[in-house]
Amino acid sequence: MKQSGIWGMGSYTEGRVVTNTELEKTLDTSDEWIRTRTGIERRVFAEDDVNTSDMAYYSSIEALEEAGLDASDLDLILVATVTPDYPFPSVSSLLQERLGANKAAAMDIGAACAGFIYGLSTADQFIKTGMYEHVLIVGAEKLSKATDMSDRNTAVLFGDGAGAAVVGPTSENRGFFSFELGSDGSGAMHIRQDPQIIMNGREVFKFAVRQMGESSINVLEKAGLTKDDVDFLVPHQANIRIMEAARERLELPKEKMAATVQYYGNTSSSSIPIALVEELKNGKINDGDLVVMVGFGSGLVWGATAMRWGR
């Protein structure tokens, strides 16, 4: 079976910057409280006339350009989102039409903050079996429209953005080596939208600290690797304390972990690809590096992958 990996990436993080200081004016909170408990210093809210499909489109254009492909080359479009433009049609179908990806199938993935990993795994299976050659995976969220800005427990956490990846065949020693996907529906009510985001922060924190580390170790073991082989960790950017717990489980130095939560907050399915794009631009991920990505989210779901960067 074919090996698959990431050919190109793009992101969209434009909009109105909302600082902790601004939130102090309307919430019973402080900049210090938010920073020490979450690591977040600011977040970006998309403009009113920019929807999830718009952010998905802008990030996809960048990813296709970096991959050296046209939209007509795509066989499948997967959009991970919990904040679609409409309940239906899917964001992926809106994106397919706007890109002009006329031969591509399209579907959305509702795995919350683990959605991008679920998308990568799905793309990997289609390419491994030979059914498809080029798959576009996008994590895109407009969480600002689902956030109760009067609830200090959630209003300080979330932001908007999108990240995209084009996945295609790679050489044998590059690309994805292993995946882990999972779900524990007994915790489904711990974070939900009804009609805005409601979260039991204590329970989600306990789950995430445990699962992020365990999943990171599990994908390494599945690939016949150890934590000594890891060059870089890209965790879901939810909370710096959760992220640090995963990093410490892998015994990595701080400079070997992606950290963008301070700039964008928790952007759900888009947080991992946005962080990947940022760290690639910063030169922290290079060809041949062993990269672990891991995320968790509402469901409660989780996903992780171990891959060697490059084509």
Is 134 considered catalytic here? no
Sign of torsion over alpha carbons 242, 175, 104, 13: positive
Sign of torsion over alpha carbons 287, 291, 296, 299: positive
Kindly name the residue from 51, 190, 236, 239 that is annotated as catalytic.
236
Kindly name the residue from 20, 113, 218, 239 that is annotated as catalytic.
113
Helices (H), 73-200: 91-99, 115-128, 152-155
Distance CA 86, CA 84 (A): 5
**Cβ within 8 Å of residue 149, ≥6 positions away:** 26, 27, 155
Tokens, residue 7 = 């050919």
Bond before 89 cis per omega within 30 degrees: yes
Bond before 300 cis per omega within 30 degrees: yes
Is 266 considered catalytic here? yes
Kindly name the residue from 20, 51, 218, 266 that is annotated as catalytic.
266
Distance CA 156, CA 43 (A): 8
Is 286 considered catalytic here? no
The answer to whether residues 201 and 173 touch, using CB atoms and an 8 Å cutoff, is no
Q: Characterize 80-107 residue by residue with b for buried, 16 or more Cβ atoms within 10 angstroms of its Cβ, and e for exposed.
A: bbbbbbeeeebbbbbbbeebebeebbbe
Q: How many CB atoms neighbour CB 159 within 10 A? A: 30
Q: What are phi and psi of 41, to 5 degrees?
A: -110, -30
Sign of torsion over alpha carbons 288, 289, 290, 294: negative
Closest CA relative to residue 19, chosen from 204, 223, 263, 192: 263
Residues annotated catalytic, as ranges: 113, 236, 266
